[in-house]
């Protein structure tokens, strides 16, 4: 069932999503060659709790950390580790879900570590652009497939591939709600978008083939099968009366 949200509820989800945005920026300020992903997780968790939030990834189906931190060929769901040191030229996706006063925001950003290659810059740029192209389709009367097709066609046109196993989702009252929001699909298909829906759109895009594998050791880490880089950007978006309202924000990172 898709839970519609009132205007008041959407404002409370926005508060939560903005805390996510500020957390990503705070983590981003500490990203540099030589830091461990466990240190970044510690910074993020502290920041969330200092601001009255609860990091929802921690303990979710046994996930051990406050943030998902995914480096290079890890697409998503990387577990922060005190033996994983960032190196110049890496990319690192940070995915954060917060509960603030009972309302849930979800956003992710892929950061460069120091100077990155032109190929990696293009992967990050195209993935982020595809997110905004998906968001443009978040209008009442459109369908989920319109978002999916916009993301997929743009990424594939640019020579990249779209992960099939994972997708975006409804959000706001819980971390994962209906409907699913795939990053691939056909225009004009899927659930109808209605005013009051809140969804997380999150392209997970690969430089090489779309195939991924999940770690047998930890059950979480999702890597590209071919070992090539991946990127991941995510916003929490409401379907408003006048089109999309992006509730999370990258402004704290990019200002």
What residues line the site for Mg ion (CB under 5 A)? Answer: 95, 106, 108, 200, 202, 234
In this structure, the strands spanning 177-181 and 168-170 are antiparallel
The distance of closest approach from Cβ of residue 13 to Mg ion in the complex, given in angstroms and rounded to an integer, is 13
Closest separation between CB of residue 168 and Mg ion, Å? 6
For Mg ion, the closer CB: 73 or 106: 106
The partner residues of 140 in beta bridges, in order of sequence, read: 142
CB of 173 to Mg ion, least distance (A): 14
Closest CB to Mg ion among residues 114, 152: 152
Tokens of 20: 């996510």
Exposure of 91 in the CB half-sphere (CA atoms within 13 A): 30
**Which of residues 145 and 168 has its CB atom nearest to Mg ion in the complex?**
168
- Dmax of the chain from CA atoms? 48
Residue 229 or 248 having the CB closest to Mg ion = 248
Is 50 exposed, middle or buried, given 0-12, 13-18 or 19+ CB atoms closer than 10 A? exposed
Nearest CB to Mg ion, comparing residues 98 and 193? 98
Phi, psi of 130, rounded to the nearest 5 degrees: -65, -35
Write down the least CB distance from residue 54 to Mg ion, Å. 15
Closest CA to 128 of 17, 250, 252: 250
Distances (CA, A) of 121 to 23, 96, 127, 185, 243: 23, 22, 10, 26, 30
Tell me how many helices (H) and strands (E) the chain has.
Answer: 5, 15
CB of 108 to Mg ion, least distance (A): 5
Q: Which residue has the tokens 């998906």?
A: 134
Q: Which is nearer to Mg ion, 157 or 164 (CB)?
A: 164
Our CB check for Mg ion shows the closer of 177 and 234 to be 234
Question: Minimum distance from CB of 93 to Mg ion (Å)?
Answer: 9
CB of 95 to Mg ion, least distance (A): 4
C-beta separation of 113 from 32 below 8 A: yes
**In angstroms, rounded to a whole number, what is the distance separating the alpha carbons of residues 151 and 135?**
9
């Amino acid at each position: 069932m898709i839970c519609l949200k009132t205007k008041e509820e959407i404002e409370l989800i926005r508060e939560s999503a903005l805390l996510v945005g500020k957390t990503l920026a705070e983590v981003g300020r500490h990203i540099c060659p030589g830091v461990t992903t466990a240190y970044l997780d510690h910074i993020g968790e502290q920041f969330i709790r200092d601001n009255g939030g609860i990091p929802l990834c921690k303990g979710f189906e046994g996930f051990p950390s406050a943030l998902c931190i995914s480096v290079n060929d890890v697409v998503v769901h990387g577990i922060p580790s005190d033996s994983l040191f960032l190196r110049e030229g890496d990319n690192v996706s940070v995915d954060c879900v917060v509960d603030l006063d009972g309302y849930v925001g979800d956003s992710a950003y892929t950061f460069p570590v120091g100077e990155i290659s032109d190929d990696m810059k293009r992967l990050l740029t195209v993935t982020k652009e595809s997110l905004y192209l998906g968001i443009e389709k978040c209008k009442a009367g459109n369908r989920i497939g319109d978002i999916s097709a916009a993301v997929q066609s743009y990424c594939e046109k640019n020579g990249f591939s779209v992960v099939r196993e994972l997708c975006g989702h409804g959000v706001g009252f819980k971390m994962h709600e209906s409907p699913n929001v795939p990053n691939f699909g056909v225009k004009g298909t899927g659930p109808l978008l209605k005013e009051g829906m809140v969804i997380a759109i999150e392209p997970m895009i690969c430089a090489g083939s779309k195939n991924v594998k999940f770690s047998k050791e930890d059950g979480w880490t999702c890597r590209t099968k071919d070992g090539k880089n991946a990127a991941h950007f995510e916003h929490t978006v409401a379907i408003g009366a006048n089109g999309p309202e992006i509730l999370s924000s990258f402004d704290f990172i990019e200002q």
